[in-house]
Amino acid sequence: MIEKMLKALGVSAASKNTTVLGIVGGLGVIFTQASAFFDGDPLTVVNWSMVWTGGFMAIIGVFAKDGSKKSEDVGLG
């Protein structure tokens, strides 16, 4: 199922892990703020800048690419 969703977004198979982690991280931030919105407590305030941050995290995750070179190839290891 994840493969079909990523293919629909135009994400290559090489960057699947980075994409999934970016989307899951962004949704985690958004859902945390959504729980504050729907908790029924009028004293709880949603941090809308965090909602925007989570959204941008998810978008960046979609466009992120995994590195194609090993650290040894670029002289780091």
Q: What is the pLDDT of residues 15-24, one digit of tens each?
A: 678 888 889 9
Domain that holds residue 50: 14-63
Does some domain include residue 8? no
Number of domains in the chain: 1
pLDDT score at 56: 94
Does some domain include residue 30? yes
List of long-range contacts for 51-54, beta carbons under 8 Å, 24+ apart: 53/29, 54/25, 54/26, 54/27, 54/28, 54/29, 54/30
pLDDT score at 53: 94
What does pTM read for this prediction?
0.65
pLDDT (tens digit, 9 = 90+) per residue, 32-54? 999 998 998 888 899 999 999 99
Does some domain include residue 75? no
pLDDT score at 28: 94
